[in-house]
Amino acid sequence: MKNFYFISGLGSTKESIQDFEKEMNQFGYEVQFIDIPGQYSNRDVKIQSEQHLIEWLSGEIPVGSNVVAFSMGADIAIRYHSYLQARNLIIIDGGIIDYDLMNITLEEDIAMTKSYIKENQLDMNAETIAKLTSLLREQYIDIFHAGLNTETLLLLSDHPDFVYQYKMNKIEANHDSMNHIKIQFIKDTSHEIYVEKPKEVVKDIMDWLERMMPLF
C-alpha cells in the first residue's frame, strides 16, 4: 500500500481516524498518524524553538511524502511546507482562519489551553503545547500567503454559519492567490470533517488525486 502521513490537530487522537483510515485502505492507502509535539505518543517531544519544530517535522515525515494535516497540524504543514516538499498536500479545516477571529490575545489563548488540558486530565505537556501555540501565532501565515508550490486540496467545514461566511470572504479576497490550491466544502460538517463524514472526505481526496494523476 501507498502511504499518507496524517498530522494531528490539538487533541485529536489516533482512534479518531479509524473510519477515515478504513476508507483510505479501500483505495490502497495506509495512514500513518502523527501526534503533534506535546501530546499523547509525542508528549515527551520538547519544542523550544522554530528550529526544533522544523527538525521534528523533518524527522517524522520523509521529503516528498503524501501528507494530510488537520487543524493545528495543518498550520504546521502550511508554515513549513518548504521543508516537507510534500508530493500531495491535503489540508483539513486549517490554515485559513486568522487568530483575529478568535478575538483573544496569545496569553489568553495559552491560559485557556492549559486550563482545558488540566481540567480534562489530557495526556499532554502543557508547556510544549503553549510553546507550539506561541510559535504558530507569531507571524501567522495562512494558506493563501504561504507561497505553496505543492498541489494542495483544502477541505473545509461549512458550520457554524459565521465561520463559513468568514471562510467564504477569505477565499473571495484571496482569489488571485490560489495557485496549486483546490478548495472543497464538505456539507453539514463542523471542525472534525474526517470524523463526521469520512466517506465523503475520502471520495473528495480520491477524485482530486485522480485529476492530479500525471503529478502523482
DSSP-derived 3-state class of residue 49: coil
- Please name the residues in contact with 61: beta carbons below 8 A apart, sequence gap of 6 or more: 5, 7, 34, 67, 84, 86
Whether the CB-CB separation of 61 and 135 falls below 8 Å is answered with: no
Q: How do residues 120-144 score in pLDDT, each as one tens digit?
A: 999 999 999 999 999 999 889 999 9
Domains of the chain, by residue range, sit at: 2-211
User: Would the pLDDT of 214 be above 70?
Assistant: no
Q: How is residue 55 annotated by DSSP? A: H
* Dist. CA 53–CA 136, nearest whole Å: 10
- pLDDT tens digit string along 96-105? 998 878 788 9
* CATH entry 3.40.50.1820 includes domain 2-211: yes
Name the pLDDT band for 150 (thresholds 50, 70, 90): very high
Name the residue with higher pLDDT: 105 or 196. 196
Are 133 and 113 in contact, with CB atoms under 8 Å apart? yes
* Average pLDDT, integer, range 105-131: 95
Q: What would the pLDDT profile of 19-41 be if each residue is shown by its tens digit? A: 999 999 999 999 999 999 999 99
* DSSP character string of 160-200: SHHHHHHHHHHHHHTGGG-TTEEEEEETT--S-HHHH-HHH
pTM: 0.95
